[in-house]
Amino acid sequence: MDVIFSSSQALLNAHSGITSHVGFIRQQPRTPLVVQFLRIILYVCLALSFMLFVERLYMGIVIAFVKLFRRKPEKKYKWEPLKGDLELGNYSYPMVLVQLPMCNEKEVYQLSIGAACNLSWPANRIFIQVLDDSTDPTIKALVEQECRKWASKGVNIKYEIRDNRKGYKAGALREGMKHNYVKLCSHVAIFDADFQPEPDFLERSIPFLVHNPEIGLVQARWEFVNADECLMTKMQEMSFGYHFTVEQEVGSTAHAFFGFNGTAGVWRMSALNEAGGWKDRTTVEDMDLAVRAGLNGWKFVYVDDLKVKSELPSTFRAYRNQQHRWSCGPANLFRKMAMEIATNKKVSVWKKFYLIYSFFFVRKIIAHVVTFILYCVVIPATIFIPEVQVPRWGTIYIPTAITLLNILGSARSMQLVVYWILFENVMSLHRTKATFIGLFESGRVNEWIVTEKLGDALKTKKGSKALKKLQFRVGERVHVLELFVGLYLLFCGWYDYSFGRNRFYVYLLLQAMAFFVVGFGYVGVFVPNS
């Protein structure tokens, strides 16, 4: 008993010693330079956060107006179904090119090719162009065989390959435009390998382009077949809900401009060519094309009720690679085009301001950077320097308002809002890193990794054996950067609980747990080896 008592007393003395030592450090005077530096960073972050709030509020007001007065694009622009002419027959329909870029898409190539070949459009007025960049000979043979199968059924399908993957998707699309039969086409629809358009897609989208010569692009909404696959896909659906329900709708309604999503859209061929065609100078070739076409005066239309089925990344590796590309690319494009936008003489000053400030600076730069630096770095740091006080509106009111505005398009998933906030803060680490890489053109600025699609892979790999392999792989996945930030937040939360007066520890400890969950790889799904 004496030994046990002595051991317990030693532990208590050690804990008391650590606590006293940390308390002593806390009572030491801070260097004025450090205090002033942190205060400046805090004020800058709060200002940027307020700018983000104003942007979200503006878009919320516009979308409320759109929904209240039911401002559908069919009311704003002329739209009526296309019909065959008595004299010309089907030749009254415009010639349409459908491009399907793909690379090693073993799990989904049949779905996308089948959906494109089943589009309701006169057979003699459409070309299906499969642009296969596959590096696996087996997959390449399967895709070619699928194209031959549809060709034998009378579908006008073309299987196109090239010698290299220069320019990745942009290079493949650009190469596809060089074929002679493309010159016959006045419109081009683009679908990534996991997209499955409904048969009436062209019948609902092409009329906007035929009856309104000022329109250069019609964009459809993405619908996800695997949104309920795991918690990570559900949270992705929440983010996409805001993007499509609010950002794209507001851009279309108020400015006739938005960023092309790279798929599930139809371009007027003359608008695409006039803008200079596809360029591979960034990893967001779709946004690049949209900005250049917008600066030429072309209008864009987003049709919210025209939906195309697609697949969300369900492995964390695929999702993180996708988010790197989508964060790095816009920042890099902003660097390359900011001056070109500012000096453009074909569009109004208001549209140039919208592009530079709202579309790029606030949404593509501030939204990523301020989330991580303010909520995961600066606010935790103020716990150690009580001389720097964070105003209540910066920690409660503004973040709450931004969150409520962000979930406008995700009513069915509102019960996941806490998980969504924590996960988005974790992902802001990678988005911030990618944003700076894009702005300064360093490191992985031009890295392009094809987003992995699973299709029905998970359905065919279930069972006890798969579960054992699943558990083994989960234990192997460790992300050091997330773990480092998680430890920082954990220490900040413990320090605030022990000595602080702000009660930030509730948020800090929850956020630290989120970083640990991601850091140890317990997020998304894992496909066991067959």
Q: How far apart are CA 497 and CA 506, in angstroms?
A: 8
- Res 32: pLDDT: 82
Query: Which whole number is the average pLDDT over 71-85?
Result: 89
Does residue 445 lie within any of the structural domains?
no
The DSSP result for 471-499, as a single string, is: HHHHHH---HHHHHHHHHHHHHHHHHHHH
CB atoms within 10 A of CB 244: 21
Which of the following is catalytic: 132, 286, 288, 496? 286
Residue 109 lies in a domain: yes
> Which of helix, strand or coil describes residue 415?
helix
Query: Average per-residue pLDDT in the chain?
Result: 89
Q: What is the pLDDT of residue 499?
A: 87
What spatial distance separates the first Cα and last Cα of the chain, rounded to whole Å?
56
Tell me, what's the pLDDT at 12?
43
H-helix or E-strand spanning residue 308? strand 299-310
Q: 133, 194, 280, 496: which one is catalytic?
A: 133
- pLDDT: which is higher, 414 or 432: 432
Banded pLDDT at 87 (limits 50, 70, 90): low
DSSP assignment string, 218-246: EEEEEEETTTTSSHHHHHHHHHHHHIIII
* Predicted pLDDT of residue 397: 93
pLDDT of residue 14: 43
Q: How confident is the model at residue 91 (pLDDT cuts 50, 70, 90)?
A: confident
Q: Which one is predicted more confidently, 520 or 468?
A: 520
Examine residue 377 and state whether it is found in any structural domain, yes or no. Answer: no
Q: Is residue 118 part of a domain?
A: yes
Read off the CATH number of the domain in which 123 is found: 3.90.550.10
Residue 405: inside a domain, yes or no?
no
Cα 395 to Cα 300, 332, 390, distances in angstroms: 37, 30, 7
Range in 274-278, 345-349, 466-470 with the lowest mean pLDDT: 466-470
Q: Which two tokens stand for residue 341?
A: 């936008």
* Residue 387 is assigned to a structural domain of this protein: no
The C-alpha atoms of residue 147 and residue 102 are separated, in whole angstroms, by 13
Strand partners, 222: 308
132 among known catalytic residues: no
CB 132 within 8 A of CB 160: yes
* Residue of 205, 207, 295 lying closest to 256 (CA atoms): 295
Per DSSP, what are the bridge partners of residue 108?
none
Q: How far lies 201's CA from each of 83, 132, 177, 368, 495, in Å? A: 15, 23, 22, 34, 57
Q: Which of 248 and 471 is assigned the larger pLDDT?
A: 248
Q: Which of 58-62, 86-90, 142-146, 356-360 has the lowest mean pLDDT?
A: 86-90
* Annotation says 286 is catalytic: yes
Q: Provide the pLDDT for residue 463.
A: 45
pLDDT at 258: 96
Domain count along the chain: 1
Q: What integer pLDDT is reported at residue 414 of this predicted model?
A: 79
* Residues near 13 by beta carbon (within 8 Å), at least 6 away in sequence: none
The boundaries of the domain holding residue 284 are 78-314
84 vs 136 pLDDT, higher one: 136
Question: What's the pLDDT tens digit per position in 140-165?
Answer: 999 999 999 999 999 999 999 998 88
Predicted pLDDT of residue 53: 96
Would residue 343 count as lying in a domain? no
3-state secondary structure of 197: coil
- Which residue's structure tokens are 């992705």? 236
pLDDT the model gives residue 90:
81
Cβ contacts of residue 14 below 8 Å, gap of 6+? none
Q: How many Cα atoms occupy the beta-carbon half-sphere of 157 within 13 Å?
A: 26
Residue 476 pLDDT: 54
pTM assigned to the model:
0.89
Instruction: Tell me: pLDDT of 17 over 80.
Output: no
475: pLDDT strictly greater than 50: no
> Among the residues of 157-230, which ranges form H helices?
168-176, 201-211
Within a domain: 489: no
For residue 460, what pLDDT is reported?
Answer: 52
Radius of gyration of the chain (CA): 26
Residue 455 in this model has a pLDDT that exceeds 70: no
Provide the pLDDT for residue 438. 95
Question: Helix (H, G, I), strand (E, B), or coil: what is residue 268?
Answer: strand
pLDDT digits (tens, 9 = 90+) for 117-135: 999 999 999 999 999 999 9
Look at the chain and count its residues. 530
User: Is the pLDDT score of 464 beyond 50?
Assistant: no
